[in-house]
């Protein structure tokens, strides 16, 4: 039995029918490389074998009314691979847009909390002979780093099936114990929480003081609730739309080297340029620059005696996106400058404060408040916290094989929130930068325009490299 951290559990409490808290990896594979030939049954059987050494895929939620703390993970003794792996055909003509539309529909469905919180949809019938695999996992069980790690365990450097890790085969979430759950929860709530609060308050008080000091010296990252309003800063519905694009990582690095910036700076500049193009074409471009929120992994960070165990080890950094600048090089230089400023500010803040405060998240109160917030469309009653979520996850720079089939693309897709209705996530692997965009269909039914704008932004930057 493994208790969820407050941050892990918060993704359960934040979830409503419209605000779905799962992350997605859309994997395109070449089935011709599978040893002995491709078949859905073979793929599912190999996945079932590997899950024996992947305990994360076998654990499910458990709780009791006597537990006043966060729920726990337990081993699913009735685990059945057929409940999780599904086969479906893409509608004709079977192109990338049809795959994205199908995945958008699946992305808008809730997950069954009575079983391990993941599912794999194997999508066949693509016009180019490829197969797509859409892996959905609840954010309560993974963050960007852990999901990339799990994906790495499902992928190999050769098509051949690997031997399983003997130590991983022994790992288990363990059985349920309602008594232990309730007693442990009471101890956490009445003993550990007050101790944690005493350590947490001094660190927290220093944050706004330092922020104010940096604001005066113009070295602060943007503060929450100061972003301009766009069509994406509105209540969301369960309807999801997805767009994808794949860029050359060599081209990205060429731009990086030419202008002396980082890969992430190029990504932020392209996001700013793509959002500028889209909003300008719709006559909705704000005068002020948009604000992006960049999740930052704190895996391995000094925990400073705070009780912050759990799967999700992430915090957030705000940065200005140069949507107010017309010149692509100026946008890149501004993105790099703003990113550097935000990183320096963010480094001054205890990386574990968000996770530590999340330990106090009240389940019933938070769930009720989130439903009320969405139903009453309260995101329209206050300034946007930020405008767009931008994640950049680095993967291996060599060929990979997913359950025996060569991976040709991996598109990551993150969740959206009321008032924060667009998520742009990039994943670099095998010489490619894969861009996944997920938005609410009611905000942007034409989200493919943003994906195409990434191609144009990179083209313009490359022209300036000559």
- What is the DSSP annotation of 264-323? HHHHHHHHHHHHHHHHHHTT---SSPEEEEEEEE-TT---TT----SS--EEEEEEEE-T
In this predicted structure, the answer to whether residue 54 has a pLDDT above a threshold of 80 is yes
Give the C-alpha distances (Å, rounded to integers) separating 164 from 46, 53, 154.
Answer: 11, 6, 11
pLDDT at 13: 95
Are 138 and 256 contained in the same domain?
no
pLDDT at 357: 86
Segment 211-217 mean pLDDT = 91
Are 271 and 376 contained in the same domain?
yes
What is the rounded CA–CA span in Å between residue 100 and residue 103? 5
What is the rounded CA–CA span in Å between residue 309 and residue 311? 7
* Residues 226-269 pLDDT 10s: 999 999 999 999 999 999 999 999 999 999 999 999 999 999 99
* Residues 123-166 pLDDT 10s: 999 999 999 999 999 999 988 778 878 887 899 999 999 999 89
pLDDT at 309: 63
In this predicted structure, the answer to whether residue 349 has a pLDDT above a threshold of 70 is yes
Are 141 and 43 contained in the same domain?
yes
Segment 440-461 mean pLDDT = 96
Are 383 and 320 contained in the same domain?
yes
Averaged pLDDT of the chain: 93
pLDDT at 300: 56
pLDDT at 151: 83
The residue to which tokens 């005068």 are assigned = 287
Residue 74 lies in a domain: yes
Domain termination site, one of 165, 182, 199? 182
Residue 264 lies in a domain: yes
pLDDT at 301: 53
Residue 69 lies in a domain: yes
User: Among the ranges 124-128, 207-211, 362-366, which has the highest mean pLDDT value?
Assistant: 124-128
Are 264 and 159 contained in the same domain?
no
In this predicted structure, the answer to whether residue 103 has a pLDDT above a threshold of 70 is yes
Do residues 314 and 297 lie in contact, with contact meaning Cβ atoms separated by under 8 Å?
yes
Do residues 385 and 400 lie in contact, with contact meaning Cβ atoms separated by under 8 Å?
no
Question: Which residue out of 22, 70, 139, 345 is catalytically annotated?
Answer: 139
Domain CATH for 245: 3.30.559
Residue 416 lies in a domain: no
Q: Which domain holds residue 337?
A: 207-387+432-463
Residue 286 pLDDT level (bands cut at 50, 70, 90): very high
User: Does residue 139 have an active-site annotation?
Assistant: yes
Are 253 and 352 contained in the same domain?
yes
Are 169 and 67 contained in the same domain?
yes
Domain CATH for 86: 3.30.559.10
Residue 197 lies in a domain: no
In this predicted structure, the answer to whether residue 307 has a pLDDT above a threshold of 70 is no
The residue to which tokens 């500010």 are assigned = 345
Residue 413 lies in a domain: no
pTM as predicted: 0.94
Residue 370 pLDDT level (bands cut at 50, 70, 90): very high
Are 76 and 157 contained in the same domain?
yes
Residue 394 lies in a domain: no
Looking at the chain, how many residues does it have?
A: 466
Are 118 and 217 contained in the same domain?
no
Are 249 and 150 contained in the same domain?
no
- Name the domain count of the chain: 2
Residue 192 lies in a domain: no
Are 216 and 176 contained in the same domain?
no
In this predicted structure, the answer to whether residue 306 has a pLDDT above a threshold of 60 is no
Are 145 and 287 contained in the same domain?
no
Residue 308 pLDDT level (bands cut at 50, 70, 90): low
Q: For residue 196, give the 3-state DSSP assignment.
A: helix
């Amino acid at each position: 039995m493994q208790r969820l951290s407050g941050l892990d559990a918060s993704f359960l409490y934040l979830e409503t029918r419209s605000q779905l808290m799962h992350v997605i990896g859309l994997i395109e594979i070449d089935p011709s490389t599978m040893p002995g030939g491709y078949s859905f049954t073979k793929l599912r059987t190999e996945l079932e074998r590997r899950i024996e050494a992947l305990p994360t895929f076998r654990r499910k939620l458990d709780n009791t009314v006597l537990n006043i703390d966060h729920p726990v993970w337990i081993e699913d003794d009735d685990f059945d691979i057929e409940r999780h792996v599904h086969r479906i055909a893409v509608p004709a003509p079977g192109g990338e847009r049809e795959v994205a539309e199908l995945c958008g529909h699946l992305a808008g469905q809730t997950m069954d909390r009575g079983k391990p919180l993941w599912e794999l949809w194997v999508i066949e019938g693509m016009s180019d002979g490829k197969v797509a695999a859409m892996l959905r996992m609840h954010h309560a069980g993974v963050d960007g780093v852990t999901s990339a790690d799990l994906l790495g365990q499902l992928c190999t450097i050769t098509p051949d099936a690997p031997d399983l890790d003997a130590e991983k085969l022994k790992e288990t979430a363990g059985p349920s114990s309602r008594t232990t759950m309730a007693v442990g929860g009471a101890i956490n709530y009445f003993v550990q929480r007050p101790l944690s609060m005493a350590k947490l308050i001094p660190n927290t008080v220093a944050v706004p003081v330092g922020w104010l000091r940096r604001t005066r010296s113009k070295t602060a990252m943007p503060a929450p609730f100061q972003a301009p309003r766009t069509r994406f800063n509105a209540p969301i519905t369960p309807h999801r739309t997805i767009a994808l694009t794949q860029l050359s990582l060599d081209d990205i690095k060429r731009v990086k080297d030419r202008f002396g910036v980082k890969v992430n700076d190029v990504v932020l500049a392209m996001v700013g340029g793509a959002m500028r193009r889209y909003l300008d074409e719709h006559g909705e471009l704000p005068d002020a620059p948009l604000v992006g929120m960049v999740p930052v992994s704190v895996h391995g960070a000094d925990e400073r005696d705070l009780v912050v165990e759990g799967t999700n080890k992430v915090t957030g950094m705000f940065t200005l996106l140069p949507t107010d600048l017309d010149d692509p090089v100026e946008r890149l230089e501004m993105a790099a400058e703003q990113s550097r400023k935000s990183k320096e500010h963010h480094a001054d803040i205890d990386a574990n404060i968000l996770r530590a405060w999340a330990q106090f998240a009240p389940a019933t109160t938070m769930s009720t408040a989130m439903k009320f917030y969405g139903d009453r469309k309260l995101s329209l009653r206050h300034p946007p916290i930020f405008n767009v979520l931008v994640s950049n996850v680095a993967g291996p720079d060599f060929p990979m094989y997913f359950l025996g089939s060569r991976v040709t693309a991996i598109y990551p897709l993150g969740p959206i929130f009321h008032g924060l209705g667009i998520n742009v996530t990039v994943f670099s692997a095998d010489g490619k930068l894969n861009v996944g965009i997920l938005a609410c269909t009611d905000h942007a039914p034409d989200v493919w325009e943003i994906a195409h704008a990434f191609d144009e932004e990179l083209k313009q930057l490359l022209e300036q490299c000559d």
